[in-house]
Amino acid sequence: MAKSLATFRRYRRTLARFWATSLTAELEYQANFLIELLSVGGNLAGSVFLLSLFFGHGRSLGGWSWEQALVVLGVYTLLDGLTSTVLQPNLSTIVTHVRTGTLDFVLLKPIDSQFWLSARTFSPWGLPGVVMGLGLMAVAAFRAGARPGPQALVQVAVLLIASAVILYSLWFVLAATSIWFVKVWNATEVLRSALVAGRYPVAAYPAGLRTFFTLVLPVAFLTTVPAEAILGTGSSQWLLASVVVAVVSLALSRWFWGFALRFYTSASS
Amino acid sequence: MSRSPLVHGLRVARALFTSQYALMLEYRAEIALWALSGVLPLIMLGVWSGSGAGADAGLTPLQLARYFLAAFVVRQFTIVWVIQAFEEDNLQGRLSPYLLQPLPPLWRYLAAHLAEQVTRLPFVVVILALVALVLPGTLWWPSPLSFLLAVVATHLVFLLRFLIQSLITMACFWSERAAALERLQMIPYLFLSGLVAPLETFPEGMRALAFATPFPWMIWFPARLLGGGQVDVAAGFGALLAWIALLLPLTLLLWKAGIRRYSAMGA
Amino acid sequence: MGFLGPNGAGKTTTLKMLSGLIHPTAGRVEVAGHVPYRRQGSFLRSISLVMGQKQQLIWDLPPLDSLRVNAAVYGLDDARAKRRITELAEMLELGDELSRPVRKLSLGERMKAELLAALLHRPSVLFLDEPTLGLDVNAQARVRDFLADINRRTGTTVLLTSHYMGDITALCPRVLLIHQGHLFHDGPLDELTERLAPCREVRLELKDPAPAEAFAGYGAVESCQGHQVRLLIPRDRLTGAVARLLADFAVVDLEVSEPPVEELIGRLFRQGVVA
């Protein structure tokens, strides 16, 4: 017990050091902040305008009203900000480590290599996206008439964490394939461009795509399910399914990493 | 022994293109993935076909499908990556040797882009074939005239985007921040070019605003030509040529100034 | 302990097996009482790896920042880490280099900082893969002195791979020679040099080209291309042979140097020991 506590403390301290050094490096480029703000803001404005095109003449999008659809957009923006803050800066380095051989150093540190590779960097420039996403979610939900109580809010938090975990696992597994295929380092770009489907509630898509976005590329779990929870139209089945998918995908990412490492350490120098 | 500059130029062009093509073949896997990451118009088609808003703008489901497929194709062949190639060359120190050669580096990048498009073509065809499997009846053969016009328009759009990005690349010589311009200009491009929504669906005010910019001519115009929709051909080509006429001398000027500055800074 | 061998012999592979980066396909490996490729926490805390061609320090930040991260990873509290850094910095003659970004340091300073980072947690075994590669003569000497110092003072086991004879002569009482994946020699260094037979490489630049056969009587011909000839001559016959070469041929330039180890070893396996 004491050993686990000590390990936990070591990991916590390491994470703090990771992010402290990362921020020091990033904050040297302060002009980036304004550019990021403009970029995220402009993107959001454009997305809101685009969404508005679907709602003329009292139409709905797959049964979702304007305010409701904005909640989905808010969740998407939040997750996109998370991607820019943590996922993209960390996981895009895996292929560099593999290519230059510096993965060896990571493997010889007495700390979990998946933890190191996933949490090493923290890019504060993604934070405006996170904040704007949260803001949009809150405002749009309020305008849609949702008044979630404390229990509902806890559910929403759980679902958002589940979405983040699923997103992380997708990214990580894709980035880990660079151990075999260094050439396909831009596979994560394909993922990123496919995930834009999450801007819209999954009901907006035709039946075939809906199934695809639920079972194959779990975009539905990422944005629609948490949005439903905030709006009070969610169900406990989806909550459960989301948590299960999150746990399974995390376990899968862990197993896959072990598998990839076995391959890496069997190859010659 | 005198050689006509045209013959010489053609020889250089051919050598440049074949070497770049060989290089691009090495990167087939990455290029395939880049082609795949252009699925945005196809995803938007999914959303638009589920919504009735397309009909409000007078577009039938078939017209919508053809529009977005055409937009997908046009996008694939108007992608420009000069700024990344240039920054990479600068970082690796390849720029100085290029400048010493009697070939303006812009031609080199142009050849690389054309070679990349040729390499990308088979993957685009594959993706279209897959879409045809999923949505039978949407693929079409455009009339020879519209196909020709669309091809010419696409090439003009490519040239225009190439010039814009080269302009931004040159600005990097004066300021580190200039690369951010590229990211920022992607935003109006994304929303005003017709990549995510045909311009017919825009409210009046927005549509007028959009047409004041070069963006709608970059996707919406060639896509309408290719997809067989109603479009003012003369206005489209006129706008494209006007924007190119504006930017070409500017880019060349800035390029020369940029190279001078680069050499002065001691490479 | 030194691993010596030409490129491709398997030195780096052996090192990677000992540090746990590669599974052996057959046989058993045990280091410091652990099986390396299991990479258990206690094993990882007792070893360290430095690679001449690659670095673990963060490129854009001063070494101190990377050191702070390492201190957290290895569970060293700040006070202990600080003491250790001061101690090692003194031994390595590093001062404000630790506060400058790594990309602004010279190759020699970078290697010293890498060594500091590797030794922060007091490993009992230090693996080094080509540590002096690319360093100038002074930097090489300083790295060697430091490694000898560390080994003497703290008893850290040092295993290094190199294709420089100089690294080995300066540091290793025990040498393992690896050739084509086989262990050729395990023992003191003098035994090895005796085994390979002491000889010198003589490089000649001739006024007029001569065929290789013309040099057969002076020593072993390594290469003969036009005006350039390279011979291997045993040391005890060196002065005599050189005198005769100068007398018998029109020599524009002559250079005597220690033959690269690869040459000796390659020669060894092609023709047997040079008499």
DSSP secondary structure string for all residues of C218-235: TSEEEEEETTEEEEEEEG
- Cβ–Cβ below 8 Å for A183 and B43: no
pLDDT band at C186 (very low <50, low <70, confident <90, very high): confident
Among residues A164, A182, A175, A184, which one has the least CA distance to residue A253?
Answer: A175
Q: Which residues contact C96 (CB under 8 A, 6 or more apart)?
A: none
- Cβ–Cβ below 8 Å for A187 and B33: yes
For A116, nearest residue in chain C (alpha carbons): C73
Residues B208-234, mean pLDDT to the nearest whole number = 90
Instruction: Say if residue A220's pLDDT is above 90.
Output: no
Q: Which residues of B touch A49 (CB under 8 A)?
A: 191, 206
Q: Is C180 left (phi over 0), alpha (psi -120 to 50) or beta?
A: left
Max alpha carbon distance in chain A (Å)?
A: 65
Residues B249-258, mean pLDDT to the nearest whole number = 88
CB atoms within 10 A of CB C58: 19
Residues B226-244, mean pLDDT to the nearest whole number = 89
Query: In angstroms, what separates the C-alpha of A227 from chain C's closest C-alpha?
Result: 39
Residues A35-50, mean pLDDT to the nearest whole number = 93
For A21, nearest residue in chain C (alpha carbons): C65
**Domain limits, chain B:** 16-264
Max alpha carbon distance in chain C (Å)?
A: 72
How does the average pLDDT of chain B come out, rounded?
Answer: 88
- Cβ–Cβ below 8 Å for B40 and A196: yes
Interface test with A, best of B175, B187, B189, B220 (most A CBs within 10 A): B187
Q: Reading across the β-sheet that carries C125-129, which strands appear in turn?
A: C47-51, C125-129, C157-162, C2-4, C174-179, C182-188
Highest mean pLDDT among B133-142, B208-217, C226-235: B208-217
Query: In angstroms, what separates the C-alpha of A257 from chain C's closest C-alpha?
Result: 15
pLDDT band at A258 (very low <50, low <70, confident <90, very high): very high
C-alpha C146/C-alpha C164 separation (Å) is 17
Q: Which residues of A touch C72 (CB under 8 A)?
A: 10, 13-14, 16-17
- Percent of the residues in chain C that have a pLDDT greater than 70, as a whole number: 88
- Cβ–Cβ below 8 Å for B196 and A50: yes
Number of domains in chain A: 1
- Percent of the residues in chain C that have a pLDDT greater than 90, as a whole number: 20
Instruction: Say if residue C82's pLDDT is above 50.
Output: yes
The model's pTM is 0.85
Interface test with B, best of A184, A186, A223, A224 (most B CBs within 10 A): A186
Residues A40-47, mean pLDDT to the nearest whole number = 94
Residues C5-26, mean pLDDT to the nearest whole number = 79
pLDDT band at C69 (very low <50, low <70, confident <90, very high): very high
Instruction: Say if residue A116's pLDDT is above 70.
Output: yes
C-alpha A121/C-alpha A89 separation (Å) is 6
User: Based on the number of CB atoms within 10 Å of its own CB, is C274 exposed (0-12), middle (13-18) or buried (19 or more)?
Assistant: middle
Instruction: Say if residue B58's pLDDT is above 50.
Output: yes
C-alpha B15/C-alpha B94 separation (Å) is 19
Q: Which residues of B touch A197 (CB under 8 A)?
A: 43, 46
Q: Does A190 touch chain B (CB under 8 A)?
A: yes
C-alpha A61/C-alpha A23 separation (Å) is 41
Selecting from C20, C60, C73 the residue whose C-beta is nearest the C-beta of A111 gives C73
Q: Do the bridges between strand C220-225 and strand C199-206 make them parallel or antiparallel, or are there none, so unpaired?
A: unpaired
C-alpha B219/C-alpha B1 separation (Å) is 47
Q: Which residues contact A47 (CB under 8 A, 6 or more apart)?
A: A73, A77, A199
Selecting from C54, C58, C73 the residue whose C-beta is nearest the C-beta of A109 gives C73
Chains B and A touch (3+ CB pairs under 8 A): yes
Q: Do the bridges between strand C174-179 and strand C182-188 make them parallel or antiparallel, or are there none, so unpaired?
A: antiparallel
Selecting from A10, A25, A107 the residue whose C-beta is nearest the C-beta of C39 gives A107
CB-CB contact of C43 with C187 (8 Å):
no
- Cβ–Cβ below 8 Å for B40 and A61: no
Q: Torsions phi, psi of B78, nearest 5?
A: -125, 20
The pLDDT value recorded for residue C266 is: 63
Write out the two tokens for B190. 């994304």
How does the average pLDDT of chain C come out, rounded?
Answer: 83
Give the count of Cβ contacts less than 8 A between chain A and C.
79
Q: What DSSP character marks residue B135?
A: S
Query: A227-241, pLDDT tens digit by residue?
Result: 999 998 888 899 999
Q: Does A38 touch chain B (CB under 8 A)?
A: yes
Task: List the alpha helices (DSSP H) in chain C.
Answer: 11-19, 41-46, 63-73, 78-92, 107-119, 137-154, 165-171, 189-196, 238-248, 261-271
Q: Does A46 touch chain B (CB under 8 A)?
A: yes
CB-CB contact of A234 with A228 (8 Å):
yes
For A26, nearest residue in chain C (alpha carbons): C60
- Cβ–Cβ below 8 Å for B47 and A181: no
pLDDT band at A90 (very low <50, low <70, confident <90, very high): very high
Selecting from A50, A59, A184 the residue whose C-beta is nearest the C-beta of B33 gives A184
The pLDDT value recorded for residue C196 is: 66
The pLDDT value recorded for residue A269 is: 43
Q: Which residues contact A181 (CB under 8 A, 6 or more apart)?
A: B29
Query: A54-84, pLDDT tens digit by residue?
Result: 998 788 888 899 999 999 999 999 999 999 9
Query: In angstroms, what separates the C-alpha of C57 from chain A's closest C-alpha?
Result: 10
Instruction: Say if residue C7's pLDDT is above 50.
Output: yes
Written as one letter, the residue type at B207 is R
Write out the two tokens for A190. 């394909």
Max alpha carbon distance in chain B (Å)?
A: 69
Q: Which domain holds residue A84?
A: 2-266
Q: Which residues contact A220 (CB under 8 A, 6 or more apart)?
A: A202, A210, A213, A214
pLDDT band at A119 (very low <50, low <70, confident <90, very high): very high
Q: What is the CA radius of gyration of chain B?
A: 20
Q: What is the CA radius of gyration of chain A?
A: 20
- Cβ–Cβ below 8 Å for A21 and C20: no
Q: Torsions phi, psi of A42, nearest 5?
A: -60, -45
Positive or negative: CA dihedral A137, A143, A144, A148:
positive
Written as one letter, the residue type at A124 is P
Q: How far is CA C79 from the centre of its chain?
A: 34
C-alpha C83/C-alpha B252 separation (Å) is 60
Q: What DSSP character marks residue A61?
A: B
Among residues B162, B169, B164, B177, which one has the least CA distance to residue B262?
Answer: B169
* Helix, strand, coil % over all residues of chain A, rounded to 5: 85, 0, 15
CB-CB contact of A73 with A43 (8 Å):
no
CB atoms within 10 A of CB B264: 8
C-alpha A65/C-alpha A47 separation (Å) is 16
Chains A and C touch (3+ CB pairs under 8 A): yes
Residues B107-122, mean pLDDT to the nearest whole number = 92
pLDDT band at C275 (very low <50, low <70, confident <90, very high): very low
Instruction: Say if residue A135's pLDDT is above 90.
Output: yes
Q: Does A182 touch chain B (CB under 8 A)?
A: no
Instruction: Say if residue C269's pLDDT is above 70.
Output: no
CB-CB contact of C49 with C127 (8 Å):
yes
- Percent of the residues in chain A that have a pLDDT greater than 70, as a whole number: 99
The pLDDT value recorded for residue C11 is: 77
User: Based on the number of CB atoms within 10 Å of its own CB, is B37 exposed (0-12), middle (13-18) or buried (19 or more)?
Assistant: middle
Residue located via tokens 């390990």: A7
Residues C56-77, mean pLDDT to the nearest whole number = 91
Q: Does A244 touch chain B (CB under 8 A)?
A: no
Q: Which residues contact C271 (CB under 8 A, 6 or more apart)?
A: C220
How does the average pLDDT of chain A come out, rounded?
Answer: 91
C-alpha A38/C-alpha B184 separation (Å) is 8
C-alpha C237/C-alpha C231 separation (Å) is 12
Query: In angstroms, what separates the C-alpha of A183 from chain B's closest C-alpha?
Result: 7
Q: Which residues of C touch A268 (CB under 8 A)?
A: 13, 22
The pLDDT value recorded for residue C274 is: 38
Q: Which residues of B touch A59 (CB under 8 A)?
A: 51-53, 56
Q: What DSSP character marks residue C20?
A: T
Out of A39-48, A49-58, A180-189, C118-127, least confident range:
A180-189
Query: In angstroms, what separates the C-alpha of C41 from chain A's closest C-alpha?
Result: 5
Instruction: Say if residue C8's pLDDT is above 70.
Output: no
Tell me the three state secondary structure of residue C202.
Answer: strand
Q: Does A181 touch chain B (CB under 8 A)?
A: yes
- Cβ–Cβ below 8 Å for A204 and B206: no
Selecting from C49, C60, C61 the residue whose C-beta is nearest the C-beta of A108 gives C49
H or E element in which residue A67 lies: helix A66-82
Instruction: Say if residue A28's pLDDT is above 80.
Output: no
- Cβ–Cβ below 8 Å for C72 and A100: no
Interface test with C, best of A22, A116, A265, A266 (most C CBs within 10 A): A265
Q: What is the CA radius of gyration of chain C?
A: 23
C-alpha B237/C-alpha B246 separation (Å) is 14
The packing angle between helices B178-192 and A31-52, to 10°, is 0
Measured CB to CB, residues of chain A less than 8 Å from chain C are 6, 10, 13-14, 16-18, 20-21, 24-25, 100-102, 104-105, 107-111, 262, 265-269
Q: First vs last Cα of chain C: how many Å apart?
A: 28
Residues B219-240, mean pLDDT to the nearest whole number = 90
Q: Do the bridges between strand C228-234 and strand C220-225 make them parallel or antiparallel, or are there none, so unpaired?
A: antiparallel
For B26, nearest residue in chain A (alpha carbons): A183
- Cβ–Cβ below 8 Å for B190 and A46: yes
H or E element in which residue A152 lies: helix A150-176
Tell me the three state secondary structure of residue C42.
Answer: helix
The pLDDT value recorded for residue C264 is: 63
Q: Which residues of C touch A16 (CB under 8 A)?
A: 72
Q: How many CA atoms lie within 13 A of B178 on its CB side?
A: 17
Query: Please, which residues bridge with residue C256 across strands?
Result: C202
Written as one letter, the residue type at A26 is E
The pLDDT value recorded for residue B151 is: 94
Residue located via tokens 């042979």: C241
Written as one letter, the residue type at C198 is P
For B202, nearest residue in chain A (alpha carbons): A53
Written as one letter, the residue type at A120 is R
For C54, nearest residue in chain A (alpha carbons): A102
pLDDT band at B244 (very low <50, low <70, confident <90, very high): very high
Task: List the alpha helices (DSSP H) in C3-62.
Answer: 11-19, 41-46
The pLDDT value recorded for residue C259 is: 66
C-alpha C168/C-alpha C160 separation (Å) is 9
Instruction: Say if residue C179's pLDDT is above 80.
Output: no
Residues A185-206, mean pLDDT to the nearest whole number = 90
Query: B1-49, pLDDT tens digit by residue?
Result: 557 888 888 888 899 899 999 989 888 888 999 999 999 999 999 999 8
CA distances from A124 to A34, A39, A40, A85, A167 (A): 12, 14, 13, 6, 19
Q: What DSSP character marks residue C258?
A: P
Out of B95-99, B249-253, C70-74, least confident range:
B95-99
pLDDT band at C273 (very low <50, low <70, confident <90, very high): very low
Residues C239-264, mean pLDDT to the nearest whole number = 81
Query: C207-250, pLDDT tens digit by residue?
Result: 888 888 888 888 888 888 888 888 888 878 888 888 888 888 88
Interface test with B, best of A28, A35, A53 (most B CBs within 10 A): A53
Among residues A50, A84, A120, A45, which one has the least CA distance to residue A195?
Answer: A84
- Cβ–Cβ below 8 Å for C54 and A105: yes
Q: Does C72 touch chain A (CB under 8 A)?
A: yes
Tell me the three state secondary structure of residue C127.
Answer: strand
User: Cα dihedral angle (A208, A209, A214, A215), rounded to 10 degrees?
Assistant: 60
C-alpha C274/C-alpha A6 separation (Å) is 61
Q: Does C46 touch chain A (CB under 8 A)?
A: no
Q: Does A177 touch chain B (CB under 8 A)?
A: no
Query: B70-107, pLDDT tens digit by residue?
Result: 999 999 999 999 988 888 888 888 888 887 787 788 88
Tell me the domains of chain C and their CATH numbers.
Answer: 2-193 (3.40.50.300), 197-271 (3.30.70)
Residue located via tokens 């008044």: A147
- Cβ–Cβ below 8 Å for A197 and B201: no
Q: What DSSP character marks residue A64?
A: B
